[in-house]
Amino acid sequence: MLKDYTLFLVRVGLLSFQGSRKYYAWMIFLFVICLIGLHAYSLQFVEGLSTTGMTNQVSWGVYIANFTFLVGVAAAAVMLVIPAYIYKKDHMNKVVIFGELMAIAVIIMCLLFVMVDLGRPDRFHHMLPPFGILNWPLSILSWDVIVLNGYLLLNLHICGYLLYTKYLGRKPTKMFYIPFIFIAMAWAISIHTVTAFLYVGLAGRPYWNNPIVAPRFLASAFTAGPALLIITFQVIRKSTSYWIGNEPIFTLRMIMTVSMVINVFLLGCELFTEFYAATAHVVASRYLYFGLEGHNVLVPWIWTAIALDFIGLGLLMTPLSRDINWLNLACIFCFIGIWIEKGMGLIIPGFVPSPLGQVVEYLPTINETLVCLGIWAFGALLYSWMLKIAIPIMDGSLRRSGISQVD
């Protein structure tokens, strides 16, 4: 057993360094960006968060914005799991593992974005009982720590177990993974709901204290996540011998379309409530969409996002996106649009104006941006590496000796 596993690890290790020139170029490219990010973070670690653009008024910035967006992308793996395991769609069975692996990579990115946002990362262990104290169940952040790490563990277990049994040529024992898959479905919804409650629970910030935030989070997540998966599937199909047909891609297209319609509808509900009654609470939205007293850093951003959202939705809803190239364009538009509106577009107006009415604008510094790029590159590196290992296992070229090809 242990010998088998060691052999497996050794082979995985070796395989990581075997690849085409393209593979090497891609991995080195990502690694170099990771290093640039690491360097920027080291600077921040020594100097303090004064290397960022955050202030006492806008005390969260692009780190938490990326974190929020990515939690959604991680949750969206469930949109492969549900068709595969509940509706028993065979074509989804073949790709569901790639969604789960993506969830792992993205959750790790989320945890990194939280880590780099901490003023005292050296005290991270204060959250971990028994040495630390987790303020559970009062603090929603403590819930988030639990659900995010739980989701990571669930997916690590599911992927690790399924891939390893596949490598061994054994049929996976249902008891060891099916229950976890069903727990992970509910858990995926929970990570994004809890992350929304992080903001919704703050009564002193009317822009966030709004019940529509959680449903909108989910709707936009189930657009952005599948968008990324659609692109990933095509990369796999083009660059490896693992064939992914069009069915999973078009199932995801349908999911994306429905989610995006709901997302845009909920956005409309929000805008109506804010602007029609025009109470004093509209001021944060006014800042976001139109600017306040000449402060309008976010205005071009949010209108870009809205334009991308609507063009993306238009492409998805029309037969145009039955063509894979148009579909890809729609995916890119929706992904970027949601990244803006759910990242900076959600976080920053929560702080502008401040609870005492101050308008202080926020822009990330270069150092802060480099840290973000580093984490994105690290996520991509991690996911590429996992795919590099998982695909040969899935197509049977990486397996224990002495087993037949077809199982």
Closer to other proteins by Cβ: residue 4 or 323: 4
Query: In the range 264-303, which residues lie near other proteins by CB under 8 A?
Result: 280, 283
Query: Amino acid letter at 200?
Result: V
Closer to other proteins by Cβ: residue 312 or 379: 379
Pattern 203-242, other proteins, x by CB under 8 A: xxx-----------------------------------xx
CB of 51 to other proteins, least distance (A): 9
- For residue 221, give the 3-state DSSP assignment: helix
Q: What are the backbone angles phi and psi of residue 292, rounded to the nearest 5°? A: -125, 125
Are 63 and 169 in contact by the 8 Å Cβ rule? The answer is no
Pattern 59-78, other proteins, x by CB under 8 A: xx------------------
Query: In the range 79-118, which residues lie near other proteins by CB under 8 A?
Result: 90, 93-94, 97, 114, 117-118
Eight-state DSSP code of residue 380:
H
Closer to other proteins by Cβ: residue 283 or 327: 283
Query: In the range 317-346, which residues lie near other proteins by CB under 8 A?
Result: none
The sign of the torsion formed by the CA atoms of 290, 291, 292, 298 equals positive
Which of 71, 102, 140, 377 lies at the binding interface for other proteins (CB under 8 A)?
140
Give the CA distances from residue 72 to residues 102, 203, 333, 370, in Å, rounded to whole numbers and listed in that order.
12, 23, 16, 22
How many beta carbons lie within 10 A of that of residue 181, not counting itself?
22
Closer to other proteins by Cβ: residue 325 or 404: 404
Query: Residue 49, interface with other proteins (CB under 8 A)?
Result: yes
- Who's near 231: CB < 8 A, 6+ residues apart? 328, 331, 332
How many beta carbons lie within 10 A of that of residue 400, not counting itself?
15
Query: Residue 141, interface with other proteins (CB under 8 A)?
Result: yes
Which of 278, 300, 358, 366 lies at the binding interface for other proteins (CB under 8 A)?
358
CA atoms within 13 A on the CB side of 197: 16
Which token pair is 309? 């959202």
CB of 219 to other proteins, least distance (A): 24
Name the one range near other proteins by CB under 8 A: 13-21, 104-112, 183-191, 313-321: 13-21
